[in-house]
Amino acid sequence: MSPRPTILPAWALASIVLVLAGCAASRRALAPQPVDAPCCTGVSDPQMRAILEAGAADERAEVRATALSALVRVDPAPGGGPWGPRGRWDPDEGVRRAVADALATRPGDPAALALLRGLASAPEVDGVTRGHAADRALLLDADATWLAPLLTGPDDWGTAGVLLVAVRGGEPDLVARAAAWLDRGEVPLDARWWELLARTGASGLRPSLVALLPRLEPEVHPRAVAALLRLDPQGPPTGLADVLAAGPDAALDLVEALAESPGEVSARLLGRLADSAPSPADVVAATRLLALGDAPGALQARVVDPDRDVRRAAIEASGTLLGRGVVPPSRLREALLATALAAEEWGERRAAVRAVARGPDRERLRSLLDDAALDLRVEVAAALLRTPSE
């Protein structure tokens, strides 16, 4: 089945045509396929290029997401060469979002901006993905006037994300529309939608969100509380006690939701959580907070902690510090490298690969480019293509 074409503004269409003319593989059916004649990929190492191209055609969405986003970041052609359109037309929402993130790292690229705006405008795309693309587009160009035509009809699932992005401008009518959506209670379970809600900065949504909390499904309750705390960080911690009392999974979901948005607000809220009555999330929250400091030695014991969530938090915190140029003690670095080379749990291993790639030991990951598992090879190749600060 051929992909449905996106209607683009005239100024952007010319840029996209340049990409399509030079790359016959840029428009494909809505299914992962190999590229027969790839354009310039920006990957000089033939082994890594072959790994990423194989990953871009893999049946597993997570592998495609990592490979395509890496290729989009480094391809010098407009819009990431054939890889930007490939990701935009991928059938998986996670892949589309990962590629949108990669397109947002290409300032001054009209083709990348056009792809993001086209994805945000596509009625056949999931509403939260459309909102994510709109959010990423504003990183390349802060002009949000193009969002208005997308909101002329009734609010439905298709506009679920775009509306929240548009609310950031503070227009009272849009805030009222978003509040009415919350009042109806038919909200997405998607974590990204709640992240978009938290980033609106619209304190006017607080009453509707507070009223919605008792009606939410248990699995989304921690995300909603995190959004509420971020909308009004100085206000009462509504819902926090309920999340902590719901058990370790709910508490850890809350920590993850807060940690996804690093900054002063999240640091203050994570600190509030870490200082609260004892809960299963205390150690994890405290570990996340270590990423904001400059004392990596405190993470040393936690990267080998018996608790999986503590280990994962410590590994990711170590990666954050390495990305800021803070070099951990040698014992911590060796523990990270050992996890990257041989950990059994995939989430830990991937986090360790990304952490090690940010530090002075990154070249020691190259041995993994010969591993039998394609998903690991793709992860390593993508990590090595990133700069330590990314």
Q: Which residue ranges form the domains of the chain, and what is each CATH number?
A: 1-142 (no CATH), 168-282 (no CATH), 291-390 (1.25.10)
Dump the DSSP string for 148-207. Answer: GGGGSS---GGGTTHHHHHHTT--HHHHHHHHHHHHHT-----HHHHHHHHTT--GGGHH
Mean pLDDT of 126-145: 96
Query: What is the spatial distance between Cα 300 and Cα 53, in angstroms, rounded to a whole number?
Result: 36
Q: From CA 65, how far away is CA 21, in angstroms rounded?
A: 24
Q: What is the pLDDT of residues 356-382, one digit of tens each?
A: 999 999 999 999 999 999 999 999 999
CA distance 366 to 358: 14
Single-letter amino acid, residue 211: A
Whole-angstrom distance, CA of residue 104 vs CA of residue 119: 13
Q: Within its chain, how far is the Cα of 237 from the centroid?
A: 26
Q: Which pTM value belongs to this model?
A: 0.85
Per-residue pLDDT tens for 256-267? 888 877 677 778
pLDDT of residue 148: 94
37 pLDDT exceeds 70? no
Confidence of residue 327 (pLDDT cuts 50, 70, 90): confident
At 10, the amino acid letter reads: A
Higher pLDDT, 33 or 229: 229
